[in-house]
Amino acid sequence: MRSDPRAMGGTRPEMNPSTQSAVGQTCLLCGGVQHRPVFTEFGIDILRCHQCRHVFSAGAGEPHYENFWGDQVDDSDHLYWKKARARMFEDFFSRFIAGRSGRLLDMGSGLGFFLALMCRYSNWESYGSEISSAAVRYAREKLGLANVECTRLEDSKWPQGSFDIVTIWDVLDHVLYPDPFLGRCHSLLKEGGLCFIRVPNIAMHLPRARMKKLLWGMRPNMMYLQARDHPHHYSASAVRRVLERNGFVEIQFLHLRPVDSMAHPGNPLGGGLRYLWFQAVRALATLSGGRLNYDNLFVVARKGSLGDSPNR
């Protein structure tokens, strides 16, 4: 499902996928060598950098994570990808797509359900880039999406300035080295184009993982921070920093409706509690001027000049 790239603007040591402890690790954002574990998941340390405060996994090491879907995507309903995210997508469409026109690239397009919904907007040309050949076959054959390419982003053939919007749904935390990835996104956007990102928020997920571990211990069938296939665990400040150094400006954090729970589908109580939590965290973020954000991170940034970047 999810992406890729290599280091840019300086070399960084390759991580061994079998390495699981903090020994010898460097921060994936700043290269710092001082860090401390904040969580341990099935023997894998999750570390916080002392220098930049970024949180990253010691045991994640595949720079091209293309095996999420395996060799063949099954014919199940894929409710999480197809239905649970539908209201979130509708919020995105109402903010950025409806009543407008242009060209959109969905980076890490997975099975293609977001792009399938984009087909309703005839004023838009929609494209997808995905490194899993199994997912691309599903998108093309099951959903009829001819504009999905099986390619790593840095190998794509689209010329610079091709798109008005690039979307990155739940991809950035899988990308081992985010700079070349975001740098390529920057180059593919037209002047003033928008980059939209959804990524888990460590400010929310770390306390939740710690609570699960305290209450139930470590259970193989329970999701914590998914350390093995998530090299990065982003905070709002870390996302802002990596966007700024790749030439993005006017960075804003939004709140879209949450993914519907698949634990108890059709249970109105569970859905109601989830909605109340969403309203509460959105209100807290508003009242605190964005300083207290315990929602997943929905980020929109505009393409600026690389010369404007404070870190270049």
Q: How confident is the model at residue 65 (pLDDT cuts 50, 70, 90)?
A: low
Q: Is 303 helix (H, G, I), strand (E, B) or coil?
A: strand
Classify residue 277: in a domain, yes or no. Answer: no
What is the rounded distance in angstroms from the CA atom of residue 66 to the CA atom of residue 191?
31
Q: Is 223 helix (H, G, I), strand (E, B) or coil?
A: coil
Classify residue 34: in a domain, yes or no. Answer: no
Q: Is 107 helix (H, G, I), strand (E, B) or coil?
A: strand
What is the rounded distance in angstroms from the CA atom of residue 105 to the CA atom of residue 171?
13
Within 10 angstroms of residue 86's Cβ, the number of other Cβ atoms is: 15
Tell me the pLDDT tens digit for each residue of 118-131. 999 999 999 999 99
Output the pLDDT for position 2. 37
Q: Which 8-state DSSP code applies to residue 219?
A: -
What is the rounded distance in angstroms from the CA atom of residue 173 to the CA atom of residue 239?
10
> Which domain, by its residues, includes 193?
71-199+234-258+295-308
Taking residues 206-232, report their average pLDDT.
Answer: 93
Classify residue 301: in a domain, yes or no. Answer: yes
Within 10 angstroms of residue 112's Cβ, the number of other Cβ atoms is: 27
Classify residue 279: in a domain, yes or no. Answer: no
Classify residue 170: in a domain, yes or no. Answer: yes
Classify residue 225: in a domain, yes or no. Answer: no
**Cβ contacts of 115 within 8 Å, gap of 6 or more:** 106, 109, 126, 127, 128, 139, 143, 145, 147, 148
As a whole-number percent, the residues of the chain with pLDDT over 90 amount to: 64
Taking residues 281-285, report their average pLDDT.
Answer: 75
Classify residue 146: in a domain, yes or no. Answer: yes
Task: Could you list the beta-strand ranges (E) of 248-295.
Answer: 248-254
What type of residue sits at position 301?
Answer: A
Output the pLDDT for position 180. 93
Cα dist from 24 to 10, 13, 14, 17, 289, whole Å: 18, 10, 11, 14, 38
As for how many domains the chain has, the answer is 1
Domain at 193, CATH number? 3.40.50.150
Contact 209, 225 (CB under 8 A): yes
**pTM metric for this prediction:** 0.85
Classify residue 14: in a domain, yes or no. Answer: no
**Cβ contacts of 92 within 8 Å, gap of 6 or more:** 167, 196, 256
Q: Which 8-state DSSP code applies to residue 72?
A: S
